[in-house]
Amino acid sequence: MAGKNSVLDTTMIFAAKYLIYIFCVYLAYTWFAKNEYRQEVLFAGYAALLGLGMNFIITLFYFHPRPFMIPTGTLLIAHVAESSFPSDHATIMISISLMLLAFKDLRRSGAIFFILAFISGLARVYSGLHFPMDMAGSLLIALFSISILLALKKYLIPINRILITYFENIEKKLTKGNLKTS
């Protein structure tokens, strides 16, 4: 279907390239504006990083060409010719959304972000960057990464408390410095 409808193509290109930034903005907003959820933001960040780490290890041992490298389909977004499996974009977005779903207070956000991750994954397939199996692989990696993190939760919470306290101390110093100069 790609290349046949400019409105659909533009929408899919936007979703494939830019929806991931909504995840980053949401996590930054939650970190700075909703202090009580900093623990959850750290876990979401860990999930994304762990998923990316797993992707990196997979690509060291397994290479699968992207659709445009074969060539098949219509490429709508220029991309480096690298391994297609698994999708880093999808892994990040699915990992964050699933981790948010794991926390009761953030389940609604997690559900919304899971839908956005699905749309972005679909758009990346539509745009000729990935195959559907790349998205399925990213889902499995995300599930595995959050399973590991939830199993290690009781060990990570004390580390998170240290990180949060360290950040809050810096924040207080910066705030006091701004108050003195005002």
The region of weakest confidence among 32-46, 61-75, 107-121, 123-137 is 61-75
What pLDDT was estimated at residue 25?
97
Tens-digit pLDDT profile for residues 122-139: 999 999 999 999 999 999
pLDDT at 176 over 90: no
pTM for this prediction: 0.90
Cα angle value 37/92/63 (rounded, 5°): 160
Contact call for residues 9 and 119 (beta carbons, < 8 A): no
pLDDT band with cut points at 50, 70 and 90 for residue 174: confident
Q: DSSP characters for 21-70? A: HHHHHHHHHHHHH-GGGHHHHHHHHHHHHHHHHHHHHHHHH-----GGGT
